[in-house]
Chain A
Amino acid sequence: MINRYRWYELVAIYAGILVFLGFILAPFVEGFLVSLKPLGLLFSSPYRFWPENGSFAAYYTMWESVPGFARYIFNSFFISTIVTAIVLILVIPAAYAFARFNFRGSGALLGAFLAVNMFSGAVLLIPLFRLMRSFGVLNTYLAMIMPGVAFLIPSAIWLLRTYMMRIPRELDEAAFVDGASHFYTLRRVILPIAMPGITVVAITTFIGAYAQQFIYALTFNSKTEYMPLPVGLFAYFGRQEVIWNELMAASFVGIAPAVVVIFLLQRYLVSGLTAGAVKQ
């Protein structure tokens, strides 16, 4: 591979990266800076980006102004974890079936999944609400978990199916010749090899569940103790004013568990797991 750049090409490349990163990271940086400032300074004119006499005080006071905040983080984390677990349990066999077996209607079914993906949950809120009410699950964790699972399954199946289709079919055939059942093959052969793909699905599902629970929580749940993080953040919107610095601090604290999970999962994202399986 040719890997030599002239100095001005290098400068251009890094400048490009810088612009791009700046664009993406600027809100985070500003959010973090805001969380360090005392509330009074936020409305000073002229506006200063750099916090003078900044401190981490907001990170302490946030727990006091909204006492239930730890619970909200737990709720978010709990709901996302359960959603991810259910999605994985359902999607792994489904993706295997879609990747390996030719059955009638598999194409139509996959198309339908894609179509479902095009609806956002918001479009279906009212029918969903009626459904939840007739099941009697309003104001429970279940009301936030079930629609979350339903809307995350299609993309998860598509993702994992694509990954599994890249696993050589000969491995299934070899296991079949050796007498292994489909489930044994899935468990002992396909699952370990598909681990990076499953990790990607787990991460996207977890993030998806973390992000999309807001709308379900807002509509299907009115109990404070079940509120997840995004709804919980509203508590910082006071009657008179918004406690911006604590809100920003709370946002960062709220994201932390998800970041930890992703950090833990990403070490399974090793490539080249099929090395030596078949001659390519």
Chain B
Amino acid sequence: MGQLNLNRVQKFYGTFEVLKGIELEVKNGEFVVFVGPSGCGKSTLLRMIAGLDETSSGDILIDDKRVNDLPPVKRGIAMVFQSYALYPHMTVFENIAFPLRVEKMAEEKLKAKVEHAARILHLDQRLQQKPGMLSGGQRQRVAIGRAIVREPKIFLFDEPLSNLDAALRADMRIELAKLHRQLRATMIYVTHDQVEAMTMADRIVVLNAGEIAQTGAPLELYHKPANIFVAGFIGNPKMNFLPVTCKGVSDAGMEVDYKGQTAVVPVRPHGGLVGRTLTLGVRPEHILLGAGDLSLKVTPTVIERLGAHTVAYAAINGEGENYCAMLPGTVAIRPEEQVLTGIRAADCHLFDEAGKALERCVELTDIDMGLLNPAAA
């Protein structure tokens, strides 16, 4: 079993509140990813679950047992560090065997376990080598091996792939996903890379400035971000935000006005916002060339041709921020030449003045229901 509950967990450094009452439940066997910008407290939270950092207040429960005051090994967790943290003077075998040596496990049993772990991680041929002779990916696999021999209830990963190069990262991502399926263990994974978060997670926890901004399945975060922060954080390139004025409410959604153009955005109707300034969000990949429900004339300043896509950046006058569109790869646009771009109202997100999202009426058939609700899968 590997059930984790966090009850109003807080962390102070002096008087500075790093984590502001985190409430979270992680079910047995779940792969949960913490993402957030640097300094949001995600690594601190992981280290508190591990027992490396003290918890200022609140409870950390593993399998319904309060573990705040237990050392890491008694919590039944294992951790993989960003920097691998291998013991350089020991062979790969001894590195993986280290936790078992600490337990004083009998030699035969230990050998069997280490070899089993090495087989899972394709390290059988490397057991007698020292970490210095291995590549980055192999080193990280040794670090993972050291975690799995203990058969912990919960695996904690602290940005384990961020030191690897891009190609290796993609491979390791797949291997980790396989490993999760094979071990059926609870895994908590910290990263700032949203591709890792989107591809591996059953559930993503987005942290911002010490608070949980949103928890949900990857596609749920993509299609229904709960607030402006999550909307801007998930998705690459970043979502575009435009200031609009609310004109009216109907069953079809909210009618908004952007520089004289109006459109009805299909969100759950919400009275009391009429006349207020709202923020309209639209993802770069949803911007079309030509007219839409809302149309914008823009002059691209930079155009990045990536083959599959063309990413165009334009400054919309007066609004400072870049307006970004992700268009088909062969689109006929040129820098400094004005083009007409369009936005479909159905693709739009709408946020109130506090940055909270108005729930979109998305066609849920577009989304895998199993992912939306992991319990149902």
Q: Which A residues are within 8 Å of any B CB, using their own CB?
A: 168, 170-171, 173-180, 184, 188-189, 192-193, 272-279
Tell whether A277 pairs with B103 under 8 Å between CB atoms, given A170-B83, A177-B52: no
Q: Complex: how many Å from CA A277 to CA B73?
A: 22
Within 8 A of A (CB), among B110-138: 130-134, 136
Closest CB-CB distance, B128 to chain A, in whole Å?
14
Q: Judge whether B84 and A278 touch: CB under 8 Å.
A: yes
Q: Judge whether B102 and A277 touch: CB under 8 Å.
A: no
Partner of A276, one of B51, B98, B131, B146: B131
Q: Judge whether B136 and A273 touch: CB under 8 Å.
A: no
Partner of B130, one of A170, A173, A276: A276
Q: Judge whether A275 and B132 touch: CB under 8 Å.
A: yes
Q: Complex: how many Å from CA A193 to CA B133?
A: 16
Partner of A275, one of B77, B81, B88, B146: B88
Q: Complex: how many Å from CA A70 to CA B321?
A: 85
Within 8 A of A (CB), among B73-125: 73, 77-79, 81-89, 98-99, 101-103
Residue B42 lies at the interface, judged by CB distance under 8 Å to chain A: no
Tell whether A276 pairs with B134 under 8 Å between CB atoms, given A173-B81, A176-B71, A179-B73: yes
Partner of A184, one of B102, B136, B146: B102
Closest CB-CB distance, A205 to chain B, in whole Å?
23
Give the nearest-CB partner of A274 in chain B.
B88
Closest CB-CB distance, B100 to chain A, in whole Å?
9
Partner of A178, one of B88, B99, B130, B136: B99
Taking residues whose C-beta sits less than 8 angstroms from the other chain, chain B's interface range is: 20 to 34
Q: Other than the known A193-B87, A193-B88, what 18 A-B pairs have Cβ atoms closer than 8 Å?
A: A170-B83, A170-B85, A171-B85, A173-B52, A174-B146, A177-B51, A177-B73, A178-B73, A178-B102, A179-B103, A184-B102, A272-B132, A276-B86, A276-B88, A276-B133, A277-B85, A277-B86, A279-B82
Q: List 13 A-B contacts (CB under 8 A).
A: A171-B87, A174-B81, A175-B102, A176-B71, A178-B98, A178-B99, A188-B87, A272-B132, A275-B131, A276-B86, A277-B86, A277-B87, A278-B86
**Contacting residues, chain A, for B56 (C-beta < 8 A):** none
Q: Complex: how many Å from CA A202 to CA B52?
A: 33
Top 5 A-B pairs, shortest CB-CB distance: A179-B73, A276-B132, A276-B131, A278-B83, A170-B85
Give the nearest-CB partner of B139 in chain A.
A276
Q: Judge whether B89 and A273 touch: CB under 8 Å.
A: yes
Q: Complex: how many Å from CA A276 to CA B89?
A: 9
Q: Complex: how many Å from CA A275 to CA B87?
A: 9
Residue B301 lies at the interface, judged by CB distance under 8 Å to chain A: no
Q: Judge whether A174 and B85 touch: CB under 8 Å.
A: yes
Residue B72 lies at the interface, judged by CB distance under 8 Å to chain A: yes
Closest CB-CB distance, B262 to chain A, in whole Å?
54
Q: Per-residue CB proximity of B239-262 to A under 8 Å, as 1/0?
A: 000000000000000000000000
**Contacting residues, chain B, for A174 (C-beta < 8 A):** 79, 81, 85, 87, 143, 146
Q: Complex: how many Å from CA A176 to CA B85?
A: 12
Closest CB-CB distance, A181 to chain B, in whole Å?
8
Closest CB-CB distance, A271 to chain B, in whole Å?
12
Partner of B78, one of A177, A278, A279: A177
Q: Judge whether A179 and B99 touch: CB under 8 Å.
A: yes
Residue B150 lies at the interface, judged by CB distance under 8 Å to chain A: yes
**Contacting residues, chain A, for B81 (C-beta < 8 A):** 170, 173-174, 278
Q: Complex: how many Å from CA A162 to CA B79?
A: 27
Partner of B102, one of A168, A180, A274: A180
Q: Per-residue CB proximity of B151-174 to A under 8 Å, as 1/0?
A: 000000000000100000000000
Q: Per-residue CB proximity of B49-84 to A under 8 Å, as 1/0?
A: 011100000000000000000011100011101111
Closest CB-CB distance, A120 to chain B, in whole Å?
38
Q: Complex: how many Å from CA A230 to CA B84?
A: 51
Closest CB-CB distance, B348 to chain A, in whole Å?
42
Q: Complex: how many Å from CA A277 to CA B131?
A: 7
Give the nearest-CB partner of B78 in chain A.
A177
**Contacting residues, chain A, for B82 (C-beta < 8 A):** 279
Q: Judge whether A277 and B88 touch: CB under 8 Å.
A: yes
Interface centre among A176, A180, A276, A278 (most CB of B within 10 A): A276
**Contacting residues, chain B, for A188 (C-beta < 8 A):** 87, 98, 101
Within 8 A of A (CB), among B160-194: 163
Tell whether A177 pairs with B136 under 8 Å between CB atoms, given A184-B102, A273-B89: no
**Contacting residues, chain A, for B77 (C-beta < 8 A):** 177
Closest CB-CB distance, A279 to chain B, in whole Å?
4
Q: Complex: how many Å from CA A192 to CA B163?
A: 26
Interface centre among A171, A174, A188 (most CB of B within 10 A): A174
Give the nearest-CB partner of A174 in chain B.
B85
Closest CB-CB distance, B130 to chain A, in whole Å?
6
Closest CB-CB distance, B196 to chain A, in whole Å?
17
Q: Complex: how many Å from CA A274 to CA B133?
A: 12
Q: Complex: how many Å from CA A173 to CA B51?
A: 10
**Contacting residues, chain A, for B102 (C-beta < 8 A):** 175, 178-180, 184
Q: Complex: how many Å from CA A177 to CA B155?
A: 11
Q: Judge whether A178 and B84 touch: CB under 8 Å.
A: no
**Contacting residues, chain A, for B131 (C-beta < 8 A):** 275-277
Q: Judge whether B87 and A189 touch: CB under 8 Å.
A: yes
Tell whether A168 pairs with B83 under 8 Å between CB atoms, given A274-B88, A276-B139: yes
Q: Complex: how many Å from CA A144 to CA B146?
A: 49
**Contacting residues, chain B, for A272 (C-beta < 8 A):** 132
Closest CB-CB distance, A106 to chain B, in whole Å?
19
**Contacting residues, chain A, for B89 (C-beta < 8 A):** 192-193, 273
